[in-house]
Structure 1
Amino acid sequence: MNEILFAEIYYICVAIMLILGFKTYRSMIKNTQKVSFLAVVFLHILYFQTNLVRMTNTQNLFLNEMSFLFFSLCTFSWFNYIQTMLEVRYEKKTQTLIALIPLIVSVVLLLVNTLNGCLIYIDHNGNFQEGPLYLLYVLINDFYYFVGAYQAYVYSCRANNYQQKKSYQILGIYMAVIMIVGTLQDIFRSIPIFCVGTSLSILIVYISLEEQMISIDPLTQLNNRNRMEQYLFECMRNADVNMYLLVLDVDKFKQINDTYGHAQGDLALKSIANCLKEACIEKSDFIARYGGDEFVIVYKGNDVEGLCQRIHMYIQQLSFPFDLDVSIGCAPYQSGLRKWNDWFIVADKQLYQEKKKLKDR
């Protein structure tokens, strides 16, 4: 391959990762996901650097081994990033050790390689050749990618809302993509497929993460108003008749804030958000915080009354020094509606009627 073209591709990839690394560093305080992502970016920069030097100086066995080491650390960093995104927690030390076994085996193989050349060695012509355990080393590192993609798939099937499901699917797809481009790199060694593939994957995952943060409410971890408007627009376009729009408002929330403080009010909103997640047992249900003490649910099912009853029951069971409940306005989807805002107005009017009944009591 043309060396000038390869150099351009290489420096573009490194420049992309340096920019993403800097942006991640600026906003990584108290955010485990971004710290893990920064580790992935940093290790890939080191891997590309050693890989480039190795290709320009094929006689240096040490640089080759360092490139293998950074590759192993990259695969583990990707795996760790998936764990933090999925919020997987290891409850026992043995589980943590099991997760580290492939990395430990890879490092041991690299140490043994210096003695007997089991991974790579230099032949009589001064060229690098694969050792008998090279394929085993590749499969061990691919194990992290495979497990990460599988976990993302499983969690996407268990997701309680559309946004989580989409995020987990994106992570699983890109773990599978990296595994595939790594395999292609072993076949087409003269073309920097892995360099380009991983860089683009990092870029797309970062964009997806930023998009997720833009569409998630930071207090309740529900979808925010921007995401709600987008989802309602998609619902109107699909025109599914069996849909209900629920608009919820916390009863006497201003009084709760004035009497018990905003900290208790925020805690109440978080608890209500968790109740809504538990009550919405259908995977197609969409939950969002519209703003303040208002929430929105798009229900695609046949028992909307049962859903409302579950919501009231779960919220009334919360332990707070004050009574906590919500008023609910519900509007079924009608084919005559042209804009999602029209659908929302109908549900909001029903909510207003419920609030009026509450005041008259």
Structure 2
Amino acid sequence: MHLLYDVVYNIITIIIVLFILYKVKYTLDRQTNTILFINILWATALISAIIIASDLLVGRTNKIANIAQTLLIDIRNGISGIIGCYWCIYIICENPQRRKWLFMGNRYYIMHIPALFLMIVSLESFFTGHIAFADPLTNRIVEGKYYFIHIAITYLYFTIASVIVLIRLFMGRYEKRFWPTKLMFSFLPCLAGLAHLLIADVGFVWITLALLLMMEHVDFANAQVSTDSLTRLNNRGAFDRYIKTSLAENYINVYLFMIDIDLFKQINDTYGHLEGDNALIETAKLLKLVCSLNPELKSCFLARYGGDEFAIVINAKKPADAEDFRQDLVSLFESNGRVESDSANFKINISVGMARAYSEDEKELISSADNALYMEKSHKHKLLRGGSGRK
């Protein structure tokens, strides 16, 4: 009966993978992680198809069926190592710095050595049965004396990937909205591997992998909808949804900060738009840092509002915490707000407008913070260039 379940599992796996591949075609770019993601999808679909074909051959005891079953087993074992390898590399490449590290020297190719070794041993097993072979009487899969090599190499990759994800979770490298998926990344492959040890000819790990890939795709699609592509902050749409929900739940102690880069047009006109982008990226980094340095806040939501404007929504325990947060913003930019490169060296100055919510009306709150920002910019522009008014 478990063979029937295995066929059903793998048909579902193929359907899931093909669906993701269809969606990926229209939503993802061709960067390194995207290519790895697509390779994992195709390999998972292939291995599931092999498992279905293998299950259908069980009970067929003629010589051709036995040879075909043995060949399918060895191909499956070889591909499983490649999938594990790509999965591990995919997780490493989530971090841009780790991605650069991986592709320096021969590290990327060294990562493939265990998988290639498993592929060679699996092909050799077709003649010797060392990894696995088909029982001539039933045509079922039988583990060879070196079957542990297949298990060890495949799940070594998955285990390394799981440990990397856990370390990043512990260090706070993932946004909270991605934690459930990343926790599943850590535990499900290992649990599926344990099930595979108990029932060798049922590939629980592949449907598990397909489900994880679907969760990853959903997270990516959601991030595309709600993330600003340049600064990697929440975008205007995410801000509009968040502030509306936040005020509806409880507007008491909610504060909105509207932040604007002073004389941003002058930066673009003097140094060019690439340096203007660098100014926006550096501003986003400093704003993230301010939010992380204020753990006493109940919540801190940061977004790029549009152009050179940013918005922060906080839930403070008391008014003094909000004012302290504003001072932290100003102080951090006074001491660290600078862009330095081969073609530019300039200071980033910001203006901050703060407003407290007194109702569930988000338009009223935004207008109040915007007016406070206007007043500060008017005053600062008089000092900076002898003019007045907003940019």
TM superposition score normalised by structure 2: 0.77
* Change in CA separation of 1:29 and 1:317 when aligned onto 2, cut-off 3 Å: closer
Residue 347 (structure 1) aligned with residue 347 (structure 2): no
Equivalent of residue 356 in structure 1, options 353, 378, 381: 378
Moved more, 138-147 or 262-271: 262-271
- The letter of the residue matching 1:207 is V
Cα displacement string for residues 71-119 of structure 1 (whole angstroms, at most 9, x for unaligned residues): 2212222222212223323265465466345424433542453454332
**1: CA distance, partners of 2:6 / 2:43:** 20
Aligned to 1:21: 21
Equivalent of residue 258 in structure 2, options 247, 271, 294: 247
Unaligned ranges ≥5, structure 2: 59-65, 384-391
Asked if 2 retains the 8 angstrom alpha-carbon contact of 1:155 and 1:168, the reply is: no
Alpha-carbon RMSD: 3.4
- The letter of the residue matching 1:358 is K
Equivalent of residue 307 in structure 2, options 287, 292, 302: 292
Asked if 2 retains the 8 angstrom alpha-carbon contact of 1:280 and 1:307, the reply is: no
Residue 308 (structure 1) aligned with residue 360 (structure 2): no
Per the TM alignment, residue 351 of structure 1 is displaced from its structure 2 partner at its CA by 1.4
Equivalent of residue 163 in structure 2, options 150, 167, 183: 150
Per the TM alignment, residue 3 of structure 1 is displaced from its structure 2 partner at its CA by 7.8
Residue 71 (structure 1) aligned with residue 86 (structure 2): no
Cα displacement string for residues 41-60 of structure 1 (whole angstroms, at most 9, x for unaligned residues): 11011111211122222422
Residue 128 (structure 1) aligned with residue 141 (structure 2): yes
**1: CA distance, partners of 2:181 / 2:278:** 31
Cα displacement string for residues 294-350 of structure 1 (whole angstroms, at most 9, x for unaligned residues): 112345785411232102332246564665321112345x6x443555544443332
Aligned to 1:327: 351
Asked if 1 retains the 8 angstrom alpha-carbon contact of 2:73 and 2:133, the reply is: no
- The letter of the residue matching 1:15 is I
Asked if 2 retains the 8 angstrom alpha-carbon contact of 1:149 and 1:173, the reply is: no
Moved more, 223-232 or 3-12: 3-12
Moved more, 115-124 or 266-275: 115-124
**2: CA distance, partners of 1:253 / 1:5:** 62
- The letter of the residue matching 1:74 is I
Aligned to 1:81: 90
Per the TM alignment, residue 353 of structure 1 is displaced from its structure 2 partner at its CA by 1.9
Identity across matched positions, percent: 24
- The letter of the residue matching 2:130 is C
Aligned residues: 357
* Change in CA separation of 1:49 and 1:331 when aligned onto 2, cut-off 3 Å: same
Residue 218 (structure 1) aligned with residue 229 (structure 2): yes
Matches within 5 A, 1:19-168: 19-58=19-58, 59=66, 60-87=69-96, 88-89=98-99, 90=101, 93=105, 95-96=107-108, 99-114=111-126, 116-123=128-135, 125-126=137-138, 127-159=140-172, 164-167=175-178
* Change in CA separation of 1:181 and 1:312 when aligned onto 2, cut-off 3 Å: same
Asked if 1 retains the 8 angstrom alpha-carbon contact of 2:3 and 2:55, the reply is: no
- The letter of the residue matching 1:287 is L
- The letter of the residue matching 1:82 is I
Cα displacement string for residues 241-268 of structure 1 (whole angstroms, at most 9, x for unaligned residues): 7765322111122344455554443332
Asked if 1 retains the 8 angstrom alpha-carbon contact of 2:10 and 2:51, the reply is: no
Cα displacement string for residues 276-304 of structure 1 (whole angstroms, at most 9, x for unaligned residues): 33444437654321111111234578541
Give secondary structure in 2 for the equivalent of 1:85. Answer: coil
Per the TM alignment, residue 146 of structure 1 is displaced from its structure 2 partner at its CA by 2.1
- The letter of the residue matching 2:49 is Q
Give secondary structure in 1 for the equivalent of 2:312. Answer: strand
Unaligned ranges ≥5, structure 1: none
**1: CA distance, partners of 2:230 / 2:137:** 63
**2: CA distance, partners of 1:71 / 1:141:** 6
**2: CA distance, partners of 1:94 / 1:321:** 36
- The letter of the residue matching 2:19 is I
Asked if 1 retains the 8 angstrom alpha-carbon contact of 2:47 and 2:80, the reply is: yes
Per the TM alignment, residue 121 of structure 1 is displaced from its structure 2 partner at its CA by 2.9
**2: CA distance, partners of 1:329 / 1:257:** 23
**2: CA distance, partners of 1:251 / 1:229:** 24
- The letter of the residue matching 2:150 is Y
- The letter of the residue matching 1:153 is L
* Change in CA separation of 1:74 and 1:341 when aligned onto 2, cut-off 3 Å: farther
Moved more, 340-349 or 130-139: 340-349
- The letter of the residue matching 2:41 is V
Asked if 2 retains the 8 angstrom alpha-carbon contact of 1:145 and 1:176, the reply is: no
Residue 170 (structure 1) aligned with residue 170 (structure 2): no
Q: Which has the larger radius of gyration?
A: 2
**2: CA distance, partners of 1:257 / 1:96:** 39
TM superposition score normalised by structure 1: 0.82
**2: CA distance, partners of 1:339 / 1:159:** 33
Cα displacement string for residues 220-253 of structure 1 (whole angstroms, at most 9, x for unaligned residues): 2222122223444565467597765322111122
